[in-house]
């Protein structure tokens, strides 16, 4: 049997969390919520995130995970945390694998930003490691791929109105707004001194024009995760079962096929020997991914390529923001450089798709 494969090195965000996150203040707030009195112990960062803080700790024998924005807040950081907590709370009791919220605090004055506490989820992130069981069994890896599809299929079928989420996002002209929204996001980074601008990203104009010309005519609304890939899922160490979708920063109401596109934009072309996790052999083909989603949801997947190209455009625009902040000294340089390279790769992939 092979040993566990080594972790992929993904630069992590603010490692100096002690300089801006007071455990004493957190403990006082938890006392007010009636949560596990006593000292906070064994506080440490969890891997997987490049922007937000994910801190695991123990109190009175119970484990907690705290999630809050990074040291240098973005314009929407606090609202994002409040939104995440709201959606995760609403998903309780559904078939969607997700972390359960223990308590949330929207008051930015407590820890300097909105935050929430959630139950720890046992499992591993396949982008960072592949345990020996999974690394040695193609059948388990095939199950992992289908589990990822089933999770977003289950999310797309949640009755958002019944869960009190009808105002989570703006459905009017959702697809029509996408290119302009993310082009504006890219251009907004000009405020960060030292950022070289969109000239350093291939195909911004070409990909945006193609998306506008080939947009699907309609969609069936639902909840979407918004940032769905191998770095934002957890799997059981003893099987191919998926235990949770994490990092709900971009969740909203809209077209759930965006999540399928997001998954596809991270999925290797058929026949590839390497992928976002290793080993790759055994994972379903791209056609099988699309067919599984169609079967589980009943949705029209004839525009799957469009959603994949949109995902490349949108994700690239998001990742470039950390690079821009790093150029201005407001994010770790290693993280910024890593994510800028990812942005370039995403736009390059989109260009190949549309040519």
The CATH code belonging to domain 17-118 is: 3.30.200.20
Pair of tokens at residue 91 = 């998903």
* Separation between Cα atoms, residue 257 and residue 173, nearest integer Å: 15
Per the CB < 8 A criterion, the answer to whether 129 and 279 are in contact is no
- Tell me the pLDDT of the chain (355 aa) as tens digits: 333 333 333 444 556 777 788 999 999 999 999 998 999 999 998 875 557 889 999 999 999 999 999 888 888 899 999 999 999 999 999 999 999 999 999 999 999 999 999 999 999 999 889 999 999 999 999 999 999 999 999 999 999 999 999 999 999 999 999 999 999 999 999 999 999 999 989 999 999 999 999 999 999 999 999 999 999 999 999 999 999 999 999 999 999 999 999 999 989 988 888 889 999 999 999 999 999 999 999 999 999 999 999 999 999 999 999 999 999 999 899 999 999 999 999 999 999 999 8
HSE, CB side, 13 Å, CA atoms: give it for residue 64: 25
**96 by DSSP, 3-state: which?**
coil
Enumerate the CATH 3.30.200.20 domain ranges in the chain, comma separated: 17-118
**279 by DSSP, 3-state: which?**
coil
Residue 1: predicted pLDDT: 30
The CATH code belonging to domain 132-354 is: 3.90.1200.10
Cβ count near 132 (within 10 Å): 13
pTM of the entire structure? 0.88
Per the CB < 8 A criterion, the answer to whether 148 and 233 are in contact is yes
DSSP state of 69: -
**56 by DSSP, 3-state: which?**
strand
Enumerate the CATH 3.90.1200.10 domain ranges in the chain, comma separated: 132-354
Question: Among residues 46, 37, 42, which one has the least CA distance to residue 58?
Answer: 42
């Amino acid at each position: 049997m092979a040993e566990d494969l080594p972790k992929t090195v993904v630069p992590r965000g603010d490692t100096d969390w002690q300089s801006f996150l007071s455990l004493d203040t957190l403990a006082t707030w938890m006392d007010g919520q009636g949560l596990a009195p006593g000292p906070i112990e064994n506080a440490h960062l969890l891997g997987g995130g490049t922007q937000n803080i994910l801190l695991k700790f123990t109190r009175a024998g119970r484990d907690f995970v705290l999630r809050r924005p990074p040291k240098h807040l973005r314009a929407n950081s606090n609202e994002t945390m409040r939104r995440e907590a709201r959606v995760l709370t609403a998903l309780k009791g559904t078939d969607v694998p997700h972390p359960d919220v223990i308590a949330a605090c929207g008051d930015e004055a407590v820890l300097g930003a909105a935050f929430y506490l959630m139950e720890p989820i046992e499992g591993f992130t396949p982008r960072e490691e592949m345990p020996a069981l999974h690394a040695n069994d193609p059948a388990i890896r095939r199950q992992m791929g289908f589990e990822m599809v089933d999770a977003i299929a289950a999310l797309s079928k949640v009755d958002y109105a019944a869960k009190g989420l009808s105002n989570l996002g703006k459905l009017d002209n959702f697809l029509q707004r996408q290119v302009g929204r993310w082009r504006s996001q890219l251009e907004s980074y000009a405020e960060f001194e030292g950022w070289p601008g969109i000239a350093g990203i291939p195909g911004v104009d070409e990909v945006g024009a193609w998306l506008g010309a080939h947009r699907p005519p309609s969609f069936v609304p639902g909840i979407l995760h918004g940032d769905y890939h191998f770095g934002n899922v957890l799997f059981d160490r003893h099987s191919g079962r998926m235990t949770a979708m994490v990092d709900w920063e971009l969740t909203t109401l809209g077209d759930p096929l965006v999540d399928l596109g997001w998954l596809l934009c991270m999925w290797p072309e058929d026949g590839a020997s390497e992928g976002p996790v290793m080993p790759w052999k055994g994972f379903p083909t791209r056609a099988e991914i699309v067919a599984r989603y169609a079967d589980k949801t009943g949705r029209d997947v004839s525009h799957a390529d469009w959603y994949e190209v949109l995902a490349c455009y949108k994700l690239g625009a998001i990742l470039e923001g950390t690079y821009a902040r790093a150029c201005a000294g407001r994010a770790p340089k290693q993280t910024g450089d890593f994510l800028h390279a990812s942005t370039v790769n995403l736009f390059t992939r989109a260009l190949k798709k549309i040519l």
